[in-house]
A and B are shown apart, each in its own frame.
Chain A
Amino acid sequence: MKLQELNQSEYPVPAELENNIAITSLSQLYNWGRRNSMWPMLFGLACCAIEMIATAASRFDFSRFGFEVMRATPRQADLMIVSGTVTKKMVVPIVRLYNQMPEPKYVLAMGACASGGGPFKEGYNVVSGMDKYLPVDVYVPGCPPTPQALLYGMIALQRKIDGQSIANGDDVPWYGVSSAEPTPVPVLGPDIIDPRQMDMIRRQAEAAAAELPSIGARDLPAATALVAASATADATAVADAPPVDGDALNFVLPTGAAPWAEAEDIREKRRLRALARKALRATRRAVAAEEE
């Protein structure tokens, strides 16, 4: 905090004391201390970790912003930078590490993977984002985010801290009477199991034992059929419809928007052509299969 800011309080400071005493609110002072000594945990998951190291290294150097040193133990860390793909196998230790961090603690999801699964989202061992298990404070997009982007995200976190107040119990749960509940640590069973879903799984297993249709778990063939059905429905709808579909008709174009409309037009034509090609291929395949 600049000296000037310290002096700008609602309490009048006598002129002769200016620059000698500072009046501020406790919250501000407290946050000023916290925001400028955020120690991240030394903890890298995947490719994003390399950029995180680059951010910590000589050229970008996040110590300049108060992120001083990375600590290898969660017990000394204020901030968990989830830097990379969270896998089902890894989320177990991650949650455990989070539980070991002392309050106040923050989580920054770095990169597409930690924010929502990223390029590997469809993988069978990938968790679609850290926020499925932990509360995330800041998301930094990118694959990987550049060091500049990460710094920006970290500064955004500092701003978030600035906005918190010890007068407000919701902002600072760590001052509450009872200690915070640890996040339940997921378990590795036939697939990953969130202990909060235990009851549901028990019911599923019971239903399976009684040979009832299972609930909650996805029935694969049915779902595939659903997707296929909706795809064919789409295809026939488009094939039957006149070349321009309803949405485009309702859209009255302003005369000035010609280039945009043209682009849209071309896209639409390409789409229809591709659909037609696809349908043709399908019929050919069907015919060939029949011949065989």
Chain B
Amino acid sequence: MDLAAVAPEKKLDSTSIDEAIAHLQSEYPDAVSPDDREGYCGVIVERGRLVDIARVIRDDLGFDYLSSATAVDYLGAGDHLEMVYHTYRTSGGPALVFKAQTDRDNAEIPSLVSVWRGADFQEREAWDLMGIHFPGHPNLKRILMWEGFQGHPLRKDWREAYYEEDQKPFDSRWPGGHVHRAEEKNVFGKNVTYPPDIDLGRLMDTSEAAVYQSLGLGVDVERIMDKDGFETNELVVNMGPHHPSTHGVFRMVLTVDGETVTSLEPVMGYLHRNHEKIGERNTYLHNIPFTDRLDYISSMGNNHGYVLAVEQLMSLGRKYNPPTYRCEALRVMMVELSRIVNHLWAIGFWLNDIGAFFTPVLYFVQERERILDFFEAVAGSRMMCNYMRFGGLFGDLPDRLKSVSNLTNDRVRDYNTMQFLTEMINERIPRTIDELERLLTQNEIVIERSVGVGVLTREDAINYSAAGPLLRGSGVAYDIRRAEPYSIYPELDFDVAVEDEGDMYARYRVRVSELRESVRILKQILPRLEATAGESIWADGKPGAYAPRVPHGEAYGRVENGKGELGYYVVSAGGRGGSSNPWRYHVRAPSFINLTPMGIMSRGHKVADVVGILGSIDIVLGETDR
């Protein structure tokens, strides 16, 4: 579907961002004011009018897609909490950013779930980690931590048990030069005070009702569980967090009527590793290896989003050189290879979920291994590449590829890099995709299991902030590489894969087309690499600063990752010289937000389909829970 075919245009919804802001200001002079802090953009909305104005932004101005909603704690700089919303038009273009502020005590901001369902999990996260209350939210429970946890950990004055200092490097390490184990200072690894009235007995209660009590299932578990009372064939089924088809430690609580799912509640946080809190202690550079561990299938893509965000901030300052052409070409190549890895993995495990246990995976991970060999030889690690830097890369391609783990005397695994790449891109990967299609696309069982299952309509996909193949499988041709292009994508020739049906099969088809498009991009990258051979990957020929100082401001860098839109919201609160640590570091994780419509997609299907639907969304827990 091409972009011109999208609904007839209203006048306001094709205005530029400045015009849109001007419109808002003239319509609501007392509720909307421009955000004129240095390096910030967008508007600040008076929170009492937030819902009305959000409706105007969505309906009149046409910003129908809420990409990210997150909170920032400005302790010491205004002493308020702030919700930041990034909205986009699905027809493409830059973001309209709006914010709402509230006091730190009794923090309260009206919920936007009634406007964008996609705000659901993100507001729950803001409640959980920042302690902002959202009146109007249908199910405001903690989402990453458990109910009953003490405090809201992302607040600036909340300190973790192993807290040492606000920012790294810790003085004791550098320049102090002492390394100690955190346990020596805090033997219990806790920073909690137990209230005098703590009821240990209740905590030990493991009855069914207590287990589901904190979930907000919308059903009366006790009634269902109580066999003697009301006669019913409804049943609560728990799947996970230990379950082979939840792709990690994800948990779903289903209410089923016979075999049919009546409601589904995703429960997450079992892999919540405090990425953002740690990220705010780290220096900017320090965060790159941590981003690898978000979506650990495609670490190159994660690196890319983060460096884009920080580069956006750095470009506000004086001493900044944008990456060279060769650097950009290498970045795109790595990212597209990751996308191939990601989709092969996703399709393989989706087949696992619909019953083809592990055999197809074995075919697809074979090609993945070759790509990982390449990553290992270039970046030093198979999975955690830690490859990109601000304004550059860790290193250029080596002349010859050797498997790092077989360095000595390995004549078998020693290739000329360009030859290896040419072969891989022109022959091996296309061959794998052909094989995959031959086995699956017309496969009767695959079609039977997936056509018409897990349907997400176009309107819902947009309203629920779905991203990536999930969004494009529902007929929305929204790909950030085209909608708000970055790097050298504008000059590359490729199509946005899109399917209209919105079911599991459509998502599979989108992934297969994207595999082909990635190969198409890679084929265009090869001559560019050859043409730039020998050029530096750094603008001034030498690596960038080890600890860059980043100017004051905010930035939202986003990329189209294998799983969908991966965004990084970074706030730098530096003074004149800039800051060396991010003040706020937030990851808009596609795997997390794509789970929001899981409930409506599963309703009415069988339990066995739920597993497949989850597989077709393609989540990875490192990113879901962060």
Chain B residues at the A interface, C-beta cutoff of 8 Å: 144-146, 148-150, 153, 159-165, 171-172, 174-178, 182-183, 185-186, 188-198, 200, 203-204, 241-244, 248-249, 269-275, 277-278, 281, 289-290, 293, 296-297, 361-362, 365-366, 369, 382-384, 405, 621-622
Contacts and interface: CB of A to CB of B under 8 A. Distances in A.
A204 to B, nearest CB: 5
A189 B160 CA distance: 16
Interface stretch (A32-40, A42-50, A168-176, A255-263): A42-50
B157 to A, nearest CB: 10
A132 B198 CA distance: 24
The 9 closest A-B pairs by CB, nearest first: A123-B274, A209-B196, A47-B296, A190-B150, A191-B192, A274-B175, A124-B160, A120-B273, A90-B270
A72 B244 contact: yes
Contacts, number: 195
Contacts of B289: 119
A72 B185 CA distance: 39
A58 interface: yes
A58 B190 CA distance: 43
A144 B384 contact: yes
25 contacts: A50-B296, A51-B383, A59-B365, A87-B271, A87-B272, A89-B270, A89-B272, A119-B290, A120-B273, A122-B278, A124-B153, A125-B144, A126-B274, A128-B182, A128-B183, A189-B148, A189-B194, A201-B194, A205-B198, A209-B196, A217-B191, A220-B163, A234-B172, A271-B175, A278-B175
A192 B150 CA distance: 10
Interface string A143-154: 110101000000
Given A119-B290, A148-B405, A190 B192 contact: yes
B175 A125 contact: no
A224 interface: yes
B249 A216 contact: no
Given A122-B278, A125-B145, A190-B150, A218 B191 contact: yes
A127 B243 CA distance: 21
Contacts of A93: 241-242, 270
Interface of A: 42-47, 49-51, 53-54, 57-59, 72, 84-85, 87, 89-90, 93, 97, 119-128, 132, 143-144, 146, 148, 187-193, 195, 197-198, 201-202, 204-206, 208-209, 214, 216-218, 220, 223-224, 227, 230-231, 234-235, 271-272, 274-275, 278
A260 to B, nearest CB: 17
A60 to B, nearest CB: 9
A58 B194 contact: no
Contacts of A208: 193-196
A188 B622 contact: no
Nearest to B273: A120
B148 A124 contact: no
Contacts of B242: 43, 93, 97
Contacts of B178: 234
A254 B203 CA distance: 63
Contacts of A51: 382-383
Given A46-B248, A223-B185, A205 B274 contact: no
B175 A231 contact: no
A144 B163 contact: no
